[in-house]
Amino acid sequence: MDTKKISINIYTAFTAFALFWVFLGWLGFLAALAGFFYKWIFIGYFILGAIGIIYRIRTSLSYNHIWLYDSIKKFISRKKSDKPFSEFYCVAIVILIISLFFSLFTVPTVFSGRDQGSISEAGIRLAQNHQLKFSTPASQEFFKIYGPGKALNFPGFHYTQNGQLITQFPLSYIAWLGIFYSIFGLAGLIIANAVLFYLFLFSSYLLFRIFASLKYSLIFLLLTSTFFPFSWFLKFTLSENTALALIWLGILQLVLFFKEKNNLNFFSLWAIFGLMIFTRIEGVLLFIMLAIIMLSNKSARNFLAREKMKRIFCPALIFIVIFMLNFIVDFSFFKEIGKAFLKNTTSAVEVSPLASSTQVFMVYGIMPYLILGAIGIFYFLKKRKLLELYPFFLTAPVFLYLIDPQISSEHTWMLRRYVFAVFPALIFYTVLWLAYHSRENKNFWPRILIMISLLLSFPAFFKYFPFSENKDLLEQTKDLSQNFSNEDLILVDRVASGEGWSMLSGPLNFLYNKNAVYFFNPDDLNKIDLNKFDKIYLITPEEKINFYKNSPLENRLEFYKDYRIETRRMETFNKNAKNISLPEKKSVKVEGKIFEIGK
């Protein structure tokens, strides 16, 4: 197959398609920084982009006389001259079906208490208020108690000096969610992740296709699509989803740059890895690795030297200005990162986290990729195949998470540290090494190893891909909200929903417009002005009733109503437990009471 022809035609088309979404991410991020975040901006962008893409596709298809039906026919007939185009269209449709199929089993993660809920809330608040800062009557009262800093009653947010709330997470992914929520409502959170997953699958497939045959590229797509962590974290509004798409889009552009040395791929690298810096803190390390890779290559240095102003100084100046603005606006995030860094440097380092994680990797079917991927990396290092090694060189800093993951030890939660760079790289090198080995040694071992890898990883994928945590919980929360007016104050216990990672206070507030707040200190009620609210309510499960009856609220509690919640969740386990197995899907039933509190 003529890979140069594919690069010029198909890869350029995909790059243009990917940049449409990358620039949408930049547009949302800059709109959030400017405090000018409006739906009409993004609808206008979609309209203009769609007109341009449709015009370009129609022109291209007319020129080549290839329509979808003809593409499928020519792919089946395997005419060599048309195969690259037919393969591109067919794979694009297959990946679209995969992304949509997985999204069918996703429930928006909007409940407070963990990162995904706070990030969803920040994106929704951004769409509602058109800026990052906001306040509510309840937040204003509790600010009087705690002042500027971490807003304990509103997980994931900080109080500003004047009592407004602002997120403590990076802004890029929050803005991305805000874009899709502003257009599609709650379904937009699912669509936002589906687009990112589509970009990841397609870019990683095209990257792999540069080095290997169609057969092994399809095998790579199969193993990636059926790898449990990818399909699982697609269900959560976590920044790992954006990082997953951006990193592998960026690696594809890096390899294409070294093949073509053109401005399109170079400025795509600037756009992609620049946005990655504002998505996750690891983006800074990846950008540094990108700079090292570029400067260590003579032809890349010559490319940069020819037009320093356009290719280095102007983009760098723009980037520095945006970074400083982001530092000022999103200072709470940098403050949290600083605290985490100081905490980790002053505390004892956990001994051999990789050893304690081995059982987890075995249970989820990850160990074959860890072993074979490592073999593949050493194989390409030995052969000095630099182009094949760029994915590893770029993501190498993230592999340090295998030594110290810097995350709580419960699984499946701990797997998120590896899902955006380490796992994709391991699968990439597993299949690529087997493809090269098969080319050099005509034997059955590659097929056997691929089958073993698939069989070991498939049980976790098959068990969980149709499962959604907290299904129907949002509808029950909506029903619960109808017991209160918008002028009431609703105090919500941390485990009113059955666990502290799915607190009801968030959606009660930002989706159903109630003055709901996560409540943990009964003494706080004497420090706020209750006369600003019509009535005061407390939502608590049965097991916490005695806690409140033995508090200063004892004589002020008046029974109002019972409530009941039923949902399903996955069990969580500590990775250091003696017996590690795949978590079970459990049914959760919560019975509790709503009390009215006298003023």
Alpha carbon 212 to its chain's center: 28
Residue 72 lies in a domain: yes
Residue 558: per-residue pLDDT: 94
| Tokens (6 digits) for 420 | 């955006």
Work out the end-to-end distance of the chain between its first and last CA atoms, rounded to an integer number of angstroms.
78
Is residue 2 within 8 Å of residue 96, measured between CB atoms?
A: no
Residue 439: per-residue pLDDT: 79
Side-chain half-sphere exposure of 147, counting CA atoms within 13 A: 0
Strand 149-150: give its sheet, edge to edge. 149-150, 157-159, 165-167
Q: Which residues pair with 539 in a beta bridge?
A: 492, 594
Burial of 569 (0-12, 13-18, 19+ CB in 10 A): buried
Cα–Cα dist 390/395, whole Å: 8
Residue whose C-alpha is closest to residue 307's, from 256, 269, 266, 268: 266
- Where a domain ends, among 321, 349, 377? 349
Residue 68: per-residue pLDDT: 44
Side-chain half-sphere exposure of 244, counting CA atoms within 13 A: 28
Percentage helix, strand, coil for the chain under 3-state DSSP, each rounded to 5: 65, 10, 25
Residue 561: per-residue pLDDT: 94
3-state secondary structure of 112: strand
- Where a domain ends, among 316, 349, 382? 349
Is residue 189 within 8 Å of residue 181, measured between CB atoms?
A: yes
Q: What is the extent of the structural domain holding 202? A: 3-107+177-349
Cα–Cα dist 235/241, whole Å: 10
Cα–Cα dist 224/18, whole Å: 20
Q: Are residues 479 and 343 in the same domain?
A: no
Residue 340: per-residue pLDDT: 67
Tell the residue number behind the tokens 């003809």, with chain if given.
70
Could you list the pLDDT tens digit for every one of the 599 residues in the chain? 344 445 457 888 899 999 999 999 999 999 999 999 999 999 999 999 888 767 765 665 444 444 444 544 544 454 444 456 678 888 999 999 999 999 999 999 999 999 999 999 999 999 999 999 999 999 999 999 999 999 999 999 999 999 999 999 999 999 999 999 999 999 999 999 999 999 999 999 999 999 999 999 999 999 999 999 999 999 999 999 999 999 999 999 999 999 888 899 999 999 999 999 999 999 999 999 999 999 999 999 999 999 889 899 999 999 999 999 999 988 888 887 777 666 654 444 444 455 567 788 888 999 999 999 999 999 999 999 999 999 999 999 999 998 888 777 777 888 999 999 999 999 999 999 999 988 777 767 777 888 888 888 889 999 998 999 998 999 999 999 999 999 999 999 999 999 999 999 999 999 999 999 999 999 999 899 999 999 999 999 999 999 999 999 988 999 999 999 999 998 876 555 567 788 888 999 999 999 999 98
Report how many domains make up the chain.
2
**Residues with Cβ within 8 Å of residue 23, at least 6 apart in sequence:** 271
Q: Is the peptide bond before 226 cis (omega within 30 degrees of 0)?
A: no
Residue 429 lies in a domain: no
Cα–Cα dist 508/367, whole Å: 42
Is the pTM of the predicted complex or chain greater than 0.75?
yes
Alpha carbon 388 to its chain's center: 26
Residue 57: per-residue pLDDT: 59
Q: What are phi and psi of 566, to 5 degrees?
A: -130, 130
Is residue 501 within 8 Å of residue 109, measured between CB atoms?
A: no
Residue 247 lies in a domain: yes
- Where a domain ends, among 322, 349, 376? 349
Residue 59: per-residue pLDDT: 60
CA distances from 291 to 271, 321, 322, 394, 566 (A): 14, 19, 19, 10, 52
Residue 324 lies in a domain: yes
Residue 135 lies in a domain: no
Residue 511 lies in a domain: yes
Cα–Cα dist 242/175, whole Å: 11
Residue 425 lies in a domain: no
Residue 65 lies in a domain: yes
Residue 480: per-residue pLDDT: 96
